[in-house]
Amino acid sequence: MKRILKFFTSIKLAIVLLIILAAASILGTLIPQDRSLEEYAARYGTLSTLFVRLQLTGLYHSIWYLTLLGLVALNIIVCTLERLSPKWRRATKPHITADAKSLSALKTNVRIKRSAPLADVQSEVTKLLAGAHYKVRTETQGPRIAVLARKRIGGIFGSDAVHLGLLIILAGGILSGVTSVRENIPLYEGDIKPVLKADFKVRLDKFTTEYYPDGSVKAWKSDLTVLEKKTPVLSKTIAVNHPLTYKGYSFYQTSYGWNWDSPAVEIWAKSKSDPAYLKKMTLKVGDRALLEDKGQTTIAVQRFLPDFVLGESNQPENRSDQPNNPAALIEGFRGAEKVFSGWIFANYPDFAQMHAANDKDKGAETDLAFELKKFEAGQFSVLEAAKDPGANLIWIGCALLMLGLGLAFYWPTWEIKAVLEESQGKTDLVAGGVAAKSREAFGAEFENIAAALRRSK
């Protein structure tokens, strides 16, 4: 049993555990947490499998990380309990007994002889010490009187308050690791979706994207309503750093996106031989429209890419969900026969080229020209729902930790002991003092008390 206690009270153990925790936390910062397997594979390649197996992608929920936190907590508990009992006895049942020889050996000491009775000197010493805010205790020991004066006794427990704060922080971290909830919820306007491990749902009433004059995003705002059994109970407009909080859950605005599967595309059709001809139409992917030209051509939008790029196989691909290079693939029909097809670009209208769909018409140009003027897609808001039951414990632990540091560094215990002994109507006083910290200030105060006793001769 003693070996186990010695092991868990070891400072070396605490240092090793803290180093491992620090290294693990650095990894948890460098490696994005709780993402999809596809994202890890794209980012780290073959290493992604190793990261997942080692639980580095969900580090703060992993068994080994929580075990480390538990070992640190156990180390702190054992160390604190081992030292707490002597500290408590020192604070509540101090030893008042002292002898003149040991007091004279202290760095801060004084020896004064008074031509006054013992009782008078004791009263004067007690009064001076109490006036300096010391708590005074006395004990009669035959012809002698021992005096113990202390103040800022709470400073004795400064390190224990720090340890308690750390324990509460660790408990909060473990609770968060085991029970915290975090998920992304994509919502279109009007969508109602449940929240993970919650008994309520959320509805997106309106989503707004605000832009700067240069076109960059200024802010995303979501009008969100919380529903309890289909009944609205709370509504709020949330934005970045302005979440909605309900039943321990916080909803943050994190991102947005577009529904590019079926956007509305505005296309203008022109005739090269007839400058007066202009046909404007708005179509969705898969829709067709009759141009009412000489050939009674029907066009259809077969595909839309918000960020067109040619891939490695020289095939059109979508580079991102941002509308950086919008392009639409259109096809022209006469009756049931497809006669041409080609890509048109919103940013580069001159790049549009229509290609014949059959061999006999290859090399021939169509009389029609097309421009991609506008495109609209339904936007959706991406919210993060987060519940962290350990957060309040962590804040309480931080407050206790700061209190403990304040007690340890700015509220040190000061202690003065004195022995008064009467001989032939005179009193011999020997006093000495110790201070855990702020020794210069303590020494100055001790000298002021000693000077006051000397002046009373």
For 46-96, the DSSP string reads THHHHHHHTTGGGGGG-HHHHHHHHHHHHHHHHHHHHHHHHHHHHHHS---
Higher pLDDT, 38 or 325: 325
Identify the pLDDT of residue 9. 74
What is residue 360's predicted lDDT score, i.e. its pLDDT?
59
In three-state secondary structure terms, 180 is coil
Q: What is the pLDDT of residue 352?
A: 83
Q: Distances in Å between the alpha carbon of 440 and those of 110, 180, 415?
A: 16, 49, 14
DSSP string over 433-447: EEESS-HHHHHHHHH
Report pLDDT for 334.
Answer: 86
Query: For 143-201, what is each residue's pLDDT tens digit?
Result: 889 999 999 999 999 999 999 999 999 899 889 888 888 888 999 989 999 999 899 99
Report the distance separating Cα 95 and Cα 431, nearest Å. Answer: 15
CB 329 within 8 A of CB 302: yes
CB atoms under 10 Å from CB of 411, counted, come to 20
Residue 242 DSSP label: B
How confident is the model at residue 205, as a pLDDT?
A: 95
**What 3 state SS string does 119-160 have?**
HHHHHHHHHHHHHCCCEEEEEEECCEEEEEEEECHHHHHHHH
Q: What is the pTM of this model?
A: 0.65
Q: What CA–CA distance (Å, rounded) separates 34 from 251?
A: 17
Banded model confidence at residue 345, pLDDT cuts 50, 70, 90: very high
- In this structure, are residues 160 and 84 in contact, taking their beta carbons and an 8 Å threshold? yes
Q: Using the predicted structure, report yes or no on whether residue 361 has a pLDDT greater than 60.
A: no
For 77-121, write each residue's pLDDT tens digit. 888 888 888 899 888 888 888 888 899 999 999 999 988 888 889
Inter-axis angle of helices 439-455 and 118-131, to 10 degrees?
Answer: 140
Quick one: what percent of the chain has pLDDT higher than 70? 97
DSSP helix/strand/coil, 31 = coil
State yes or no: pLDDT of 363 exceeds 50: no
Mean pLDDT of the region 338-360: 84
